[in-house]
Amino acid sequence: MKENNMTYDSILPQIWPVTTVVGLGLIGGSVALRLKELGLTNQVLGVDANEEHGKIALDSAIIDEYVSLDEAISHSQLIIIATPVNSIPGILSNVLNKTDRQVIIDMGSTKAGICQSVLLHPARGRFVAAHPMWGTEFSGPAAATTQSFIGKAAIICEAEKSDPDALQSAIRIFSALGMHILTMNPEEHDLHTAYVSHLAHITSFALANTVLEKEKEEKAIFELASAGFESAVRLAKSNPDTWVPIFRENKDYLLDVLNEHMSQLRKFKSCLEKDNWDYLHELITESNQIKKVLDRQN
């Protein structure tokens, strides 16, 4: 994993007259809003299979026109794909088949399958495989915000396979969004995100289901819920249409991570069963070391 220290301030700004955003949800909508706010594009065309999303995005001035993908490709210099990860390979292949030197950037939360799907495509160089490491439990264009990405990491995979101008365009965009750039290979990306993102979501979903099951018997349980509980299950409000494809695409790494996680849970369970309070204290003290890791990121 390498960090690219190039910032938006160190390179000349570039304006894309027409930008297309395919997928008008939280990520796509937020990118569109911010690019317009920064003056990095003059017009944003929106593409989404959900017509209601297109209407909301248009009414909210996230996009300037709601169009078909073919129409968008023919009019755009920059194309950003921010759909669920299972749909990205098909959309990306379609765009690359029709590209005329456009810059194409995807925003998918998994990278190995997407990169593999276009590995031998003759227009592969026009594509930049990327993942802005930001998101919330909310979804849809109504959740879009202009201050989303500041201070977060943007990961670019297989940078060496992208044409230099396409790569520099991606760096300009992510730097303008206030992000710092990391480069890594797709497998490394998928392994790391399984630990720092995907596990957190699946754990939150499981915890929410555990409590909901118990709540059938004890109606007072949510009246006792603290801020800690709310924080732990916040991600359980995330959209299954987004997360089922992510879990499916990253299944192998996620299974490895879950096995380790369940091993850790068994240690805590064993301490309780055996009244091993000294080891429980040791486990909790060990977990406190995460503060040092998180503090280095801030």
Closest CA to 21 of 85, 84, 66: 66
Contact 78, 103 (CB under 8 A): yes
DSSP 162: S
Residues of the chain with CATH 3.40.50.720: 7-184
Supply 57's token pair: 């995005």
**Location of structure tokens 């396409």:** 166
Contact 6, 179 (CB under 8 A): no
Helix pair angle (251-273, 240-249), 10° resolution: 100
Q: CA 227 → CA 200, 219, 233, distances in Å?
A: 17, 18, 10
Supply 102's token pair: 């456009």
Distance CA 115, CA 174 (A): 19
Amino acid at 139: S
Compute the 3-state secondary structure of the chain and give helix, strand, coil in percent, each to the nearest 5. Answer: 55, 15, 30
Residues of the chain with CATH 1.10.3660.10: 189-296
Distance CA 83, CA 88 (A): 6
Q: Which CATH architecture has domain 189-296?
A: Orthogonal Bundle (1.10)
Q: Which fold has domain 7-184?
A: Rossmann fold (3.40.50)
Query: For every one of its 298 residues, what pLDDT tens digit does the chain have, with 9 covering 90 and above?
Result: 555 544 434 444 478 999 999 999 999 999 999 999 999 999 999 999 999 999 999 999 999 999 999 999 999 999 999 999 999 999 999 999 999 889 999 999 999 999 999 999 999 999 999 999 987 777 888 888 887 889 999 999 999 999 999 999 999 999 999 999 999 999 999 999 999 899 999 999 998 898 888 766 666 666 666 667 777 888 889 889 999 999 999 999 999 999 999 999 999 999 999 999 999 999 999 999 888 777 765 5
